[in-house]
Structure 1
Amino acid sequence: MAIVQTSERAHRECNSYSSSSPSGSTNSSRSDSALAELRALEAERDTAITAAEACSKTGTKLAEMARLLQQLALEKVRNHDEEGARQVLVEKAGVMEALEKGAVK
C-alpha cells in the first residue's frame, strides 16, 4: 500500500514539475528525475507483488500438503500401521514448520 501511495505521489510531483514552468531545463531535469524515481518504485512494487503471490501459492500448497498428510496418518492408524502413521506425522511436522517460516516472511 505504501509503495502505491508513493507511486501516486511521484505521479503528482512529476505532473507539478512539468506544469509549473514549461520552459526551463531545471524543471525538465526535475521531471526526468521524478519520472525515473516513479519507474523505479513501480518496478519495486511489481517485484514485491510477484514475491507475495509466490509466497501465497507456496503457503496454499503447504497447507494442502499438511491436510493430506493428516488424512494419511489417520488412515494408517485405522489400518493399524502405527509406525507408518508416526512417519507421516513427522513429515507433516516438517511441512508445518516450513509453513510457519513462510508466514513469518
Structure 2
Amino acid sequence: MSFWDLFWLLVWSYAVLVYLLLLYRILADLVGDPGVSGWGKALWVVALVVTPVLSALVYLVARGRGMGDRSTAAWRATHGPRTTSRSPVPAGAVPPAGTATPSGLWDAADGHRAS
C-alpha cells in the first residue's frame, strides 16, 4: 500500500465517521423534537436513507438553529442554570504569602497549619 493509498483511506474513513456522527445527531434531534409529527419524522428518515448527504445538509440548514436551541434547553434542564462566575475565595481562607510549605495543610478556619 502506497503512502497516497493510506492517506486517502484515512481521509475517507474520517469523512465516513463524521457523517455517521452527524447522522446520529440528526436522528436524535428528530426523534426528540415534539414539534414534528410522526409523518414528518418518517419523511425525514426516508430522505436520509434515499439521499443521505443532501438531506443531511438540508436538515442542518432548515432546522440547525432549532437543533441547537433544543440541545441547549435539554442541557440546561439536566444541569441547571449556568452561573457566570464562581464565588471568590474569602481573604481569610488563603494563608499569607511565604508561610505555606509544600507538604503543609492549612486549616481554613484559623489560617494555621492543621496537625
| TM superposition score normalised by structure 2 | 0.37
TM-score (norm 1): 0.40
Higher relative contact order (CA 8 A, sep 6+): 1
